[in-house]
Every structure is written in structure tokens, then in C-alpha cells.
Amino acid sequence: MNLDIENKIYGHDYDSVVLYRLPFKKESHILLGFAESVINGISEHHLSKDGFVFEPFEANLNQGIFINSAFTGSFETLSAVQKQDLGNLIPQFENMDKVRETSFEEYAKNYQQMLKTINEGELDKVILSRIKTGPKISNIQAINVFEQLASNYSHAFVYVIFSSKIGLWIGAGPELLLRYDGKRLNTVSLAGTIPNTSTSKWTAKELDEQSIVTEYIENVLLNHQVEDIIISDPQTISAGQIKHLCSYFSFTCPKINGNHIGILYDLHPTPAVCGMPKEDAYQLIMKTEQHDREFYAGFLGPVVNNTYEFYVNLRCLKTTKNGTALFVGGGLTKDSDLKKEWQETELKSQTLLSVLKNI
């Protein structure tokens, strides 16, 4: 790697640092730059300039950021000196609010409220999330967490991002929201979760979840008059301690049929992080959950040479004054079971916790 980070940062006052690794790639990327606040979502303007998008779950409640690229580079490993240089570039935040872990009692109360709405026939599916706290980490440790996540989860989009506007976030998620390679667009239908063991089998609950999401995405694309749609059969993908069902979409979208931003925000938030019907599920989430999801269940990714690759921010954490706050969730349907859903979130939290505990 020819990444002379020390010389690149010397004399500069970057306010944002991003490390990211695309799924199934050996090479990681670094982006240094300056963040601008994004109000009510990104625009076509942001898709035409190099940078990095970091959007919240609710764009009307929280501002996102777009980091304008001042320096980019690629690497497979970072030396101790390079990690130190990056660590020095990232201020250690000490003024963040303390975060409270979601208790089982609070989760159970929220679960019952959501399940009641589902059983009354108002919803097919809704996502209930919670916060789990973890150990405090330093800047250098955050970079080590990124490296370990990239090593452990080849299928995931892995990142660590610091910006003076939003603090320090780390994540690893398998769900593609929207990709554009200059010719075709891609998205996925990701739903259904079971333990990643040889004895775990898909049940009607997970198959139904995945079918609902696939149908929803297909309808979104048809409404935007996209062309040449190709949809794969559901496939099993491993995600650490759990596995999901996933169908892949590929299509084209001629300019005459509208812009990519419309498709992007009709897909976001996806049923995997919100529910179905989307608006009803969203309103129930906002009414029920006591915590602010912030950037959890939002989306993020790089924009390079008029192409982009955005992923749903599923398994993620933020650093706080008293430690780390991990965001996890699961989909509730009429066939859900409280203890199983709680255990599913415990399994999902291990994607990050297992790494944090070994740093």
C-alpha cells in the first residue's frame, strides 16, 4: 500500500474520516474530507460528486451528512504508524450523552403494543429495535474493530466513520439498498432471520416475511417504470451468528422514467428495518420506541465517478460518553414469539460485541 497518510493529513484540517470495505472485496478504502449537513435527504446533486453519504433512519428528524472527498486511497492493511496518524486526526469525543440500554421489560412492553396492532389487522410486519450497551473504545481501537469486522464478515459492508457533526460510528451490514454501476441498478430483498447452524431450518414465518419484502420492492420498481427487471429466487446468506433469506434485483432506469433519488427514498426505509405497510409501520415505530434510532436503519455508502453503492445501516454502534451503544432489531409478524425475538436481537448484537470484547 502506498498510503502516506501522515503527509496527506499534515497541514490539513479535515473534519471527517471514513474507512470502508465493500462486500467480498479484499481492499479497503479511506476517505478524508469535509462534511456538509443534509436536510430532508440527499439529492441528485450528491450523486454527481465524489464523497460519502451517511443518512439517518428519519431524514425529517435528524440531519444526515455528505462528506466531500478531499483525499481517497486504498489499502489491505494499515501499519501501527498509520493507525496512530488516523487516531490523532479523530478527536476523542467526551461530551456525548450517556445512552441507556433497553431492558427486557421495556422491550416486552413495546413488543406487546406492536403485536396488538398486527393482530388487529393493521400491519403485516413491523421492526422493533433496541439498544444494547458495550465497552468504551479508543480511536485506535475503533480502527482495530473495523479491521476485525472486515476480516470476520466478508459478506458485509463494513465501515468506521468519524465526523465532527455526528461523532464516531462503526458498522457491518449485509443489506444493499441501491447500487448504480453506470449502466444497471441493483437492490435486494432481505428478510427472515434464524440462527446460523446446520440444524436451523426456514419456517413459514421467515418465508412469508421474505415474500412480503420481495413483492413490495417489485411494486416500487414497477411504479417507477424501470426496465429489464431480473429477480432471483430466495437464497440463504450467512451473516455471522445468523442467516437471512435474500433475493437479488437487477434493472435499468432510463432518464425519461425519472431519477434515482425517487427510487432510493421509496425503497428507504426498507421493510427489513421498518415494516409493511411502510407508512403505518413507520408511524408505529415512532410512537412506540423510546429511543432515537439516529443513523441506525439509515443508509450509507460511497459516490465515485457518478456511480454509487448504498447499504442499509443494520448492525451498527456509536461511541458515547460511557461506552458504546449498539442498535439491533427484528421483524415482528403475527407468528412472532417474544422470547425468540429477544434472543434474535441478542444474536445480532454479537456481530459487534464479539469483536469489541476481543479488542
Angle between helix 278-288 and helix 104-119 axes, rounded to 10 deg: 150
Total residues found in the chain within this entry: 359
Sorted by where each begins, the domain ranges of the chain are 5-356
Enumerate residue ranges in the chain where pLDDT < 50: 1-2, 95
- Which cell numbers in the block locate residue 230? 431480473
- Check residue 1 and give its pLDDT: 41
Strand (E) positions, the chain?
Answer: 16-21, 28-38, 51-55, 64-75, 125-134, 157-163, 167-173, 176-180, 185-195, 227-231, 235-239, 242-252, 275-276, 299-304, 307-312, 316-320, 323-332
- The pLDDT value given to residue 85: 82
| Cα 63 to the center of its chain, rounded Å | 16
- Which residue in 314, 246, 244, 287 sits closest to 57, CA to CA? 314
What is residue 208's predicted lDDT score, i.e. its pLDDT? 82
Percent of the chain clearing pLDDT 90 (strictly above): 67
**pLDDT given for residue 257 in this prediction:** 52
Residue 253: all three cell numbers together:
432506469
CATH architecture label of 5-356 = 4-Layer Sandwich (3.60)
Question: What DSSP designation does 305 have?
Answer: T
Rounded Cα–Cα distance for residues 236 and 358 (Å): 28
pLDDT confidence of residue 84: 86
Q: What's the gap between Cα 234 and its chain centre?
A: 21
pLDDT in the model for residue 240 = 72
| Cell matching residue 314 | 443494520
**pLDDT at 210 (0 to 100):** 87
Which grid coordinates are listed for 193? 432471520
pLDDT of residue 154: 92
